[in-house]
Amino acid sequence: MSDWREAARLDQLSEDAPHAANVDGRAIGLYLLDGEVRAIGDLCPHMKSVLLSQGYLEDGTIECPMHQSQFEIRTGRCLGPPADEDVPVYPVKVEDGLVLVDLG
């Protein structure tokens, strides 16, 4: 079942930097990649208190600021240790300049 929630305004997002959103208590990182908005779980699975959106963004991946595990933004896939779990990917749509994510 869909559960679309407002996460940000589109004009808050930039190709150059992640945007940390708190959506109904859930930490979600928003990314603008090649003009498309992507949303992934923002808590690093290695230590669930670290926000990936505070990390280093490069070529469609985000690197955890704590121990440098990398995650593919389009798929949420963990690309290397010490983290060993993927992060969730959330469906996204943009309506009237608002970014909505499906917490489903």
Contacting positions for ligand FES (CB under 6 A): 44, 46-47, 50, 64, 66-67, 69, 82-83
Between 82 and 88, name the residue whose CB sits nearer to ligand FES: 82
CB of 96 to ligand FES, least distance (A): 35
Between 60 and 65, name the residue whose CB sits nearer to ligand FES: 65
CB of 81 to ligand FES, least distance (A): 8
The DSSP result for 28-61, as a single string, is EEEEEETTEEEEEE-B-SSSTT-BGGGSEEETTE
CB of 9 to ligand FES, least distance (A): 28
- List residues bridging with 38 in a β-sheet: 31
Between 53 and 69, name the residue whose CB sits nearer to ligand FES: 69
CB of 7 to ligand FES, least distance (A): 22
Residue with the two structure tokens 């990314």? 31
Cβ distance 20 to 53 under 8 Å?
yes
The sign of the torsion formed by the CA atoms of 57, 59, 61, 66 equals negative
